[in-house]
Amino acid sequence: QAPNEENLRSPVCCIMGHVDAGKTKLLDCIQGTNVQESEAGGITQQIGATLIPTDNIRDRTKELKAGAKLKVPGLLVIDTPGHESFVNLRTRGSDLCDIAILVVDIMHGLEPQTIESLNLLKMRNTQFIVALNKVDKLYSWKVSPNAPMVNSIKQQSEDVKSQFDTRVIFQFKEQGLNTELYYKNKNMGETFSIVPTSATTGEGIPDLLLLLVQWAQKTMVEKLTYHDEVQGPIVTNIKALLTPRPMKKYRLKGKYMQHKEIKAAMSIKISAPGLEHAVTGTSLYVVGPNEDLEHVKEKAKGPMNSIMTKIDKNGEGVYVHASTLGSLEALLEFLNTPEVNIPVRGIGIGPVHKKDVIKAGAMLEKEKEYAAILAFDVKVKPEAEEHADDLGVKIFIADVIYDLFKQFKAYIDGLKE
């Protein structure tokens, strides 16, 4: 398929940065949700994806009077955790994305996981935009709610403005990176753009959204034309095949026994560099001596590609949760068949939390029937259940895909009567 500007998929955009820089809050601000406050300890512990439809982006950026057409159907945003222990999820997020937002707390500057995220993005040559967040905390900041930064900045004193570009640009330089405030940046691509933002006042959000979409459209048409991949498989050499040692010998010689060869299905632990970055449920492919590595890699990319393309282009639909990538894929495949045809707005792997209910609740005002979560082979946290009752979000739980569909269909038919 040739690159085609009229047939683009949504760019996948990963939000990365140090813990508490405001990644989730920024996403809340963009979506009009309140996920952050419901997270346990105020800390993100999973990755999930949500689509911001282009209509939202158009509406949000109208004050910037961007003449250029928005051609992508939306922006598929992946929120990642900033806590140091979740490096595997950050790695996964940076593997999946086309473009990224690196969030920096203006009060703190570059922090350890900012630098770690930066290096992950550099390694993959991923373009990113820096959101210099929490500008509302600057002394004597004058708030213009939801205003584009280019307007808001006119209200600020010279002293406030100077705090945008002094410390942080210098700190990026120390990491070998040229950065510049986006409205001064004449050389995007070589110099990374900084957008000052506030997730609490909404200032700078219009600029950030527009810049992301325009940059993706300008540089990634080929990549965003529907055939392309979004994931890099992990290629590695196996160091050891291990099985648990029988209990009684356990203390003597360590937990595992090593094997040269293993046949048939049993519980095996594979030791190999890089495997800590793998997502639960993804497949293992062995590259034989006469096999082409690139061909095997293409095969391995399949599941994540198909997941990303099955999210509704208008950002309307139910939320879907499953225990592994594989089961999520199966469920999406089923929901996409013409006879079933249930649109999906967002996905999650793992238990359903209160914040997932809040995300699903965003549909209440648009398409009430889609304010629902289909939970396949995962647990629903009690506080999620409670909140769903309060909000009027329906949660359907089953460990057979077809049962989920039956429950959901019965519910929709009930609504129609």
CA distance 209 to 60: 8
Part of the chain binding Mg ion (CB under 5 A), chosen from 43-51, 224-232, 277-285, 355-363: 43-51
DSSP state, 324? Answer: S
Residue 42 touching Na ion (CB under 5 A): yes
| Structure token pair of residue 185 | 């940046």
Dist. CA 116–CA 366, nearest whole Å: 39
H-state helical runs in 143-270? 149-152, 158-165, 167-174, 205-219, 221-224, 250-253
* Binding flag, residue 117, Mg ion (CB under 5 A): no
The Cα 283–Cα 301 span in angstroms is 10
Closest distance of CB 406 from ligand GTP, Å: 36
Asked if residue 200 binds ligand GTP (CB under 6 A), the reply is yes
Which does residue 327 bind out of Na ion, ligand GTP, Mg ion, none, counting CB within 5 to 8 angstroms by kind? none
Of 58 and 83, CB closest to Mg ion: 83
Residue 20 binds Na ion (CB under 5 A): yes
The single residue among 44, 152, 198, 323 that binds Mg ion, judged by CB under 5 A, is: 44
Smallest distance, ligand GTP to C-beta of residue 141, A: 10
Q: Which stretch binds ligand GTP (CB under 6 A): 46-54, 87-95, 193-201, 386-394?
A: 193-201
Residue with tokens 């291990």: 242
Cβ-based nearer residue to ligand GTP, 25 or 353: 25
Tokens representing 249 are: 């010998």
Residue 282 near Mg ion by CB under 5 A: no
Q: Can you tell me which residue has the tokens 């506030």?
A: 198
Of residues 47 through 76, those in contact with ligand GTP by CB under 6 A are: none
> Closest CB to Mg ion among 111 and 329?
111
Q: What is the CA radius of gyration of the chain?
A: 23
Residue 156 CA to residue 175 CA, distance in Å, equals 29
d(CA 292, CA 286): 11
Q: In sequence order, what DSSP letters do the residues of 272-294 get, joined into one string?
A: -TTGGGPPTT-------TTS-HH
Burial class (CB in 10 A: 0-12, 13-18, 19+), 301: middle
Tell whether residue 207 is a contact of Na ion (CB under 5 A).
no
Closest C-alpha to 277, from 78, 45, 96: 96
Interaction of residue 199 with ligand GTP, rule CB under 6 A: yes
303 touches which of Mg ion, ligand GTP, Na ion, none (CB within 5 to 8 A by kind)?
none
Among 198, 231, 323, 327, binds ligand GTP (CB under 6 A): 198
Residue 89 contacts ligand GTP per CB under 6 A: no
Given the rule CB under 6 A, which residues bind ligand GTP? 17, 19-25, 36, 42-44, 81-83, 133-134, 136-137, 198-200
Given the rule CB under 5 A, which residues bind Mg ion? 23-24, 44
Given the rule CB under 5 A, which residues bind Na ion? 20, 42-43
